[in-house]
Amino acid sequence: MTTGLTRRPAAGGRGVVRRVGQLRHSSPGRLQLLLAILLTLGLLTGLVAGLTATSAASGTADLGGRAQPLLTESETIYSALAEADTVAAQAFLAGGLEPVDLTRRYEDALARATTALTSAARRTPEGSAAQESVHALAAGTLRYTALVATARAGNRQGLPVGASYLATASELNQGTLQPQAQSLFQFAAREVDAGYETARSSWWLILLLVLVVVLTIALIGTQVYLSGATRRTFNMPLLAATGLTALLVVATGVLFTLQRDHLDSAGEDGSTPVIALAERRILALRERASEALTLAARAGSGPHEKAFDRAAEQLDFTGREFDDVASLMSQAGARHATYVDIHREVRKLDDGGDYDGAVKLAVGPEATEAFEGLTSALDAALADRRAVFDEEIDRAGRGLSVLTVLGPLLALAICVLAAIGLRARLEEFR
């Protein structure tokens, strides 16, 4: 009993294979096999076309709605913390009650960092290293704020300990917070790179191309077979199915070619220059903070001055990624050169024993105007490139949602036409 039961499925399976194989030996059977092949290929093509368009549309939307905004937010955190450090040091140099303008700029920088941290927390994966960086930044920013507040209180009372607290706060900012922000920035940059790869949906597109080619060959082969077997030159439903397949190929090719062109533009003209500009803005802020901290320490040329020199050496305002904002970068380069010249004068005064003169020049209108001109040019270039990215990503996503529906509908129409064309020939054998 048990042996008989175990053999029946195998026998039944062999029977199905045998019956399918026997279909090849009769004209109606061959037509049924061709119909089954065409329907299978058509349905698979429609399914893969929909999945390809969905994957590309989802990847493009994620790139524009999560990855790139996270990159912007991480840059905001990084630069806002660097600016807070810079302004805090400048305000400290003023002595006594800090200037209202510098106090406002310091508070605005911290507010931008806090807002960006809150937004970034929603865009980082749960349990990831990026989320740990966000938590560490949130806690570290609170500690940094407290240290600066203590330094300012000591400075108002003329206590030397204020400079020590400021140095500790700056060390926390530059040694811990900014590296954490940089780590978050690098994570966001990798997410952008991964987003481009997902948006292109290369593997899905290759699979769709293979299926469309096979479907086209199957349709043409079927028509050639019918033409020889029935002595009829054309099978109009199958001819129409072939035309719809060609339409699907053209529509897919055009939409994905346009999408990739816009993705390439978004990368080359948008996210790549944004990353480079953000790095340069941070280096410029690091220069300004190092200058102020050198003066606040009253120690002459020391480690902070070396940090200034390293940042100045790394600042470069030329490159292919800046071709579209060349005028702004030229302006930034000129302002930076002016600021560095002023900084050299500050160092001459300080090293020559004129500390008050050095402080006056460092926080004076000439240095302030040069530095603000530098950051303003970089900010304008950043805004310009971000706008380009947003526009190109928006264009890249257009049409993909249409293909999500159009692809399966065209494939379904191909299946219906194939069925009509072959069923008509099958009816002739009844």
pLDDT, averaged in runs of 10, over the chain (430 residues): 47 51 56 85 92 88 85 87 84 73 88 92 85 90 91 79 83 88 86 84 89 92 78 78 92 89 90 87 86 78 84 89 92 94 92 88 89 93 91 86 88 91 67
Residue type, 301: S
The secondary structure element, H or E, covering residue 252 is helix 236-266
Q: Give Dmax (Cα) for the chain.
A: 111
Residue 411 pLDDT: 92
| CA 348 vs CA 301, 358, 365: distances in Å | 10, 8, 18
Bin 158: left if φ > 0, else alpha if -120 < ψ < 50, else beta: left
Residue 154 pLDDT: 82
- Whole-number Å distance between alpha carbons of 85 and 288: 9
Return all residues near 108 (Cβ < 8 A) that are at least 6 apart: none
| CA 80 vs CA 75, 123, 254: distances in Å | 8, 19, 43
Bin 301: left if φ > 0, else alpha if -120 < ψ < 50, else beta: beta
For 29, the token pair is: 């059977």
Residue 27 pLDDT: 60
Picking from 246, 251, 240, 217, the residue whose alpha carbon sits closest to that of residue 416 is: 240
Task: Say what the pTM is.
Answer: 0.74
Residue 217 pLDDT: 92
Residue 151 pLDDT: 87
Which single residue is written with the structure tokens 């811990």? 176
- Whole-number Å distance between alpha carbons of 329 and 337: 12
Contact 381, 277 (CB under 8 A): yes
For 52, the token pair is: 């390809």
Residue 410 pLDDT: 92
Which single residue is written with the structure tokens 């901290």? 293
- DSSP assignment, residue 201? T
Contact 73, 187 (CB under 8 A): no
